[in-house]
Amino acid sequence: MYRLVALDLDDTLLDKNLEVPAGNKQIVSEVMARGIYVTLATGRMFRSSLTLARELQIKAPLITYQGALVKHSDTGEVLFHRPVPLDYALDIVSRVGKYGYHINIYLDDYLYVAQDTEAGRRYASLSRIPLEVVGDLGRFLTSRQQDPTKVLVVSTEPRLDELAAELKPIYSDKLHITKSKPHFLEFSHPLANKGHALEAVADYYGVPREKVMAVGDSYNDLEMIDWAGLGVVMGNARKEIKDRADYVTLPNDEGGVVHAMRKFVLSKQ
C-alpha cells in the first residue's frame, strides 16, 4: 500500500488550461481521506503552488522550486531551503546575459527580472505571479547579498540545449541544471531536485521509499521518478521520460492522474 504520493503540476495534475480538473480534485480528496499523504512536487514558486494546494486542501510540505524549497502549506514551516550560492548566480547572470536571453531570479518567494519582456510576461501568466522589474540583475543581486532560490533562463529549446552543453561542464557538481519545460532551463543548488526533496518529505512522515509513488512528465521529474518506489510518467511525456517509468499512465488531459491513483493507490487498500 502506498502511503505518500507526489504529484507534479504542469502537464501532470493540471490540464492544458492550467486548471485542476474535477476528476483530479476528487481523486486527491479520496486518497487523502484514506489517510494517505499527498504532496505537490513542482518547479513553481511556493506562492504559486500554495494556491493550488489550498484548492486541493493539501496540508503536507510542498516540494517547490525543483526541490530547492520544501515548506509546509498550512503552517509555513520550512523543512529545508537549498538556494543557489550567490557567486554562482552572479556568474550565470554574467555568462547568460551576453546572449540576451530572459532570466528570472527568485528571492524570498518573489520573482525578479531585468526588464518587462514578452517572455517574462508569459512566464508570470503561467505561474500567476507578478514580476518585479529591477534593472541590471547582477547589480541587483550584489546589492541584496543573498543566495537566490533558483535562476531560470527562457529561450528556444535548441538555444537552451546549446547553453546547457556549454555550462554543465563549467558548473559540473556545483549546480543542478535541468529543463522543466522545453523552453525553461533551470539552475539550482546541486542537491535541489525533486528526488532529494521527496526523500525528505518521506522521512518527515516516516514513510519508506517503497511506499512512495511519484507522478510526473518532464526532465525535472526524473530524480523523483527514479527515487520513488513507483515512478509513474504521464502519457503526454516525451519518450525519453517514459523510458524511465515503472508505469506510463494516460495523458494529463485524459485522466492520467485519476487512472494511476485508482490503479495503484485506491485499489490496493
Q: How confident is the model over 53-89, as pLDDT tens digits?
A: 999 999 999 999 999 999 999 899 999 999 999 999 9
The whole-number average pLDDT for the span 191-211 is: 97
Residues 34 and 116: their CA atoms lie apart, in Å, by: 46
Binned at pLDDT 50, 70 and 90, residue 1 comes out as confident
The whole-number average pLDDT for the span 217-228 is: 96
Indicate whether 93 pLDDT > 90. Answer: yes
Binned at pLDDT 50, 70 and 90, residue 268 comes out as low
Q: Please give the span between the terminal C-alpha atoms of the chain, in angstroms, as a whole number.
A: 6
Domain 4-81+192-268: which CATH number of 3.40.50.1000, 3.20.20.70, 3.60.10.10, 1.10.287.110: 3.40.50.1000
> CATH topology of 4-81+192-268 equal to that of 86-188?
no
Binned at pLDDT 50, 70 and 90, residue 156 comes out as very high
The whole-model pTM stands at 0.93
Residues 207 and 93: their CA atoms lie apart, in Å, by: 39
Binned at pLDDT 50, 70 and 90, residue 269 comes out as low
Domain locations in the chain as residue ranges: 4-81+192-268, 86-188
Residue 13: per-residue pLDDT: 98
The whole-number average pLDDT for the span 118-126 is: 86
Residues 233 and 236: their CA atoms lie apart, in Å, by: 8
CATH architecture of the domain formed by 86-188: 2-Layer Sandwich (3.30)
225: number of Cβ within 10 Å: 27
